[in-house]
Structure 1
Amino acid sequence: MKNAVYAQSGGVTAVINASAYGAIVAALESRDIGRVFAGVNGIKGILNEELFDLTDEKRSEIERIPYTPGAVFGSCRTKLEKEEDFERLFKVFDAHSVGYFFYNGGNDSMDTAYKIHRKALEMNFPLRVAGVPKTVDNDLLLTDHCPGYGSAAKFTAISIREATRDLKSMYSDSTKVFIMESMGRHAGWLTASAALAGIDQLQGPQIILLPEVAFNQETFLRRVEEVIKADGYCSIVASEALKGSDGNYLSTAGYYDAFGNIQLGNIGQYLERLVRENLKCKVHVALPDYLQRSSRHIASLIDWQEAIEVGAFAVKEVLRGKSGFMVSIDRTCDRPYLKELKCVDLSQVANGTKPLPEDFISEDGFYVSDSFLSYARPLIQGEAPNLFLHGLPIYENMAKVKVRKRL
């Protein structure tokens, strides 16, 4: 009987551990899987033969996994490139009788999962590989949306809604422009979710700056000035990935990760300086950063439930003999919200990016359309349950016993 390995990769989401829970419980309850391991810090830990054995963990602690933020087993941004990396990886799999591998991540992680699947076929190694999707960026191909997005969208909408209320209270003789920077490396899905703040007609941001729309300084300043004249203040949400007409990022941190992705940042400060120097008004900037992707306490119930489901579905499908796939969410109806889970080929997902469609963007490029609101609204519904003690949330406290190394 073969064993299974689950691992987490890339930036976390508020519900990545819900997917971990779904996959782990399904594997533990299967009669076809021996022991269930978790890679310590993703594929990096597996290469180092660092595995947690979850088989004998207390079930009470397993049950706390989906209530926990971060990545309970650790994550990484390690890229598999060298032949010796693959040789080492499969030696570890062989040494621990691993026949099932579940990789929970985004674009780059799906590329890693695909490479491992392809290598297993080349080597005739008996390994079934499944990609479990997650990303707050919501830009994975061949899926309606990604687990993690709904919760980050909910946080974004609530945060800008509250901050805009604050701004409205103070603008008469203080701050007139508030700018919140949003995550989103290549696509504006998360930035766009700020529009949900005005869902019941209370004012949210008046301007949303998306990476799919080339930034024009003069047009932007003119719009801000118009909004201030009309409302007295201007609330803005801007994507960290804003680009100019030349296609280059407006603001970066100046370094790259292991996958060659430029690290973005400081777009808020860039815009703040632009507004302050040209419009001569007080500006405040907020950078949610990790808070935007890890705020488990206000996670979406729909998102949390779906995250559990995709993890369990991945296990179910590999036990049916499938390999080399990512679990996909196929929406069948907006109202009521209905969906189905399917399998899509990893080769068609790896390293791809899904931008915000044109029909989700307003004609002037400074907001989103009603079509986007209809798309995003179901994904933030409900509040995922939390476990609290003495006023603070409580999380898992597993023993996390490491497997004895054999290599």
Structure 2
Amino acid sequence: MLKNAFYAQSGGVTAVINASACGVIETARAHSDKIGTVFAGKNGIIGALKEELIDTSLESSETIAALKHTPGGAFGSCRYKLKSLQDNRAEYERLIEVFKAHNIGYFFYNGGGDSADTCLKVSELSQSMGYPIHAVHIPKTVDNDLPITDNCPGFGSVAKYIAIATMEASLDIVSMCASSTKIFILETMGRHAGWIAAAGGLAGKTSEEPPHIILFPEVAFNEEAFLDKVDTSVKQCGYCVIVASEGARYANGDFLADSGATDVFGHKQLGGLAPTLAELIKSKLGYKHHWAVADYLQRSARHIASAVDVEQAYAVGKAAVEFALAGKNSVMPAITRLPGPEYAWHITEAPLNQVANVEKFMPREFISDDGFGITQAARDYLEPLIAGESYPPYRNGLPSYTRIVGQLVAPKTQRSFDVN
């Protein structure tokens, strides 16, 4: 009997995560002589624990193809961190129980560093339990902080959105600064790594063009230097545009916008950096300001997705299936940039034990000497990733996105599992 596959989406979704799902399902269907049904977890890994498996074979080829231009997580995602094997072995044993009941021999987990860790643990435990599973992690994170891979699918489209938003908002501010608003602050995602905020720097080509200031988690926030830079920009240019990563922090490591709470992954919850900075500028310098938080808008903007990002997201999904069918295990398809004046890339494999729980930060050579901008090296890295347009089809003036049927298969384990 052919082994079936399980695919799940994890963590915050992106504009192109469904393109990876499309790559997985279409490639599996093209190898129907080697792989059976692809089941998808309803709401990510929770779907496996609760034995809520979506039968993707019931989705039409047109629906699956349309996933490539549909944002969000078509099968549902989750922020659910499996505990360590030592703390809760039962969760992992439950996964193996469900996989065994449904003849699942391939596990494709589409997410960031935490999901890479889960994928690795499932592979290890399945071996020890005598039911080996080919576990392949599919990279996805807008934060662009996974190691080994040159970049992460999902990042290119967010970078394109932030660069465009910075450019367009700057044109608005410059038209009003003579008599009104002097300051605009755009808060981006990026807890520990400043890749997304750095993309805002693509909006301007010179130091006089906005953004005038970028705040990175990698550079300690200095209030005096920051206010001086703001004041200088207003006096020289008439206004100041700031792109700030939510993870901006002081030299002691404290976040400027620490809410005091933590999420299910144990990460500090952040929010409110833009208004915090705006109030600081108003109280110290008196300038009128406006601010915005890109939040979900930046990661769901499929209407202006990067064509390179879409292509790469599909490619890693496709490669994951090909890796598994070739007998590879505990690996991740990684994007490798090829040398040369023209941008080119191909897919290589990265071992999960070198990916799980490892973060990639902005190199110091990508950040200007004063810590408030990007260098030419950063531009050379970022610009190819936002290249090209991949517009979805439109109907009546709006993007035409798809929705899956989402039919669940009948449970076979005949028991429930509590997911806290």
Q: State the TM-score, normalizing by the size of structure 1.
A: 0.98
Aligned amino acid, residue 389 of structure 1:
R
Q: Which residue of 1 aligns with 2:375?
A: 369
* SS at structure 2 position matched to 1:38: strand
Q: Write the letter of the residue equivalent to 1:254.
A: G
What is the Cα deviation at residue 335 of structure 1? 3.0
- SS state at 1:55 partner: helix
Q: Please give the alpha-carbon distance, in whole angstroms, between the structure 2 residues aligned to 1:378 and 1:70.
A: 24
Give every structure 1 segment of 4 or more consecutive aligned residues whose post-TM-superposition deviation is greater than 6 Å. none
State yes or no: 1:175 paired with 2:181: yes
Distance 1:76 1:150, change over 3 A: same
SS at match of 1:37: strand
C-alpha displacement at 1:200, in angstroms?
9.0
Say yes or no: does 1:17 pair with 2:23: no
For residues 335 and 52 of structure 1, the distance between their equivalents in structure 2, rounded to whole angstroms, comes to 45
Q: Which residue of 1 aligns with 2:251?
A: 245
Q: Which amino acid aligns with 1:374?
A: D
SS of the aligned residue for 2:335 comes to strand
Task: Name the CA distance, whole Å, in 1 between partners of 2:371 and 2:206.
Answer: 22
2:120 alignment counterpart:
114
Separation in structure 2 between the aligned mates of residue 385 and residue 251 of structure 1, nearest angstrom: 35
- CA deviation digits over 1:289-341, x for unaligned, max 9? 00011100000000000100010001001100001011111101363111121
Give structure 1 stretches of 5+ with no counterpart: none
Which of residues 319, 322, 331 is equivalent to 1:313? 319
Deviations 1:249-281 (A, max 9, x none): 111222212110111111101100100000011
8 Å contact from structure 2 (residues 212, 241) kept in 1? yes
Mapped pair 1:379 → 2:385: yes
* Aligned mates of 2:340, 2:239 — CA distance in 1: 34
Deviates more, 1:395-404 or 1:70-79: 395-404
**Superposition map of 1:179-258 within 5 A:** 179-199=185-205, 203-258=209-264
Alpha-carbon contact 1:334-1:375 (below 8 Å) kept: no
Aligned length: 407
Q: Is 1:294 the counterpart of 2:311 in the alignment?
A: no
1:170 partner letter = M
User: How many angstroms does 1:204 deviate by?
Assistant: 2.7
Q: What amino acid sits opposite 1:48 in the alignment? A: K
Unmatched segments (≥5 aa) in structure 2: 414-420
For 1:7, the aligned partner's letter is A
Q: What CA distance in whole angstroms lies between the structure 2 residues aligned with 1:47 and 1:139?
A: 27
Give the CA deviation at 1:199.
Answer: 4.6
Amino acid corresponding to residue 64 of structure 1 in structure 2: A
Q: Could you give the per-residue CA deviations for residues 11-30 of structure 1, whole angstroms, max 9, x where no partner exists?
A: 11110000110011111221
> What's 1:55 paired with?
57
CA shift digits 1:107-129 (9 cap, x unpaired) = 11111111111111222312100
Q: What residue number does 2:28 align with?
A: 27
Which residue of structure 2 aligns with residue 147 of structure 1? 153
**2 CA distance for matches of 1:278 and 1:259?**
37
Report the TM-score when normalising by structure 2.
0.95
Task: Determine the C-alpha separation between the residues in 2 that align with 1:126 and 1:56.
Answer: 27
Secondary structure (helix, strand or coil) at the match of 2:57 reads coil
Residue 84 of structure 1 is aligned with which of 90, 104, 109? Answer: 90
Query: Structure 2 CA distance, aligned partners of 1:200 and 1:400?
Result: 50
What is aligned with 1:64? 66
Q: Name the SS for the 1:343 alignment partner.
A: strand
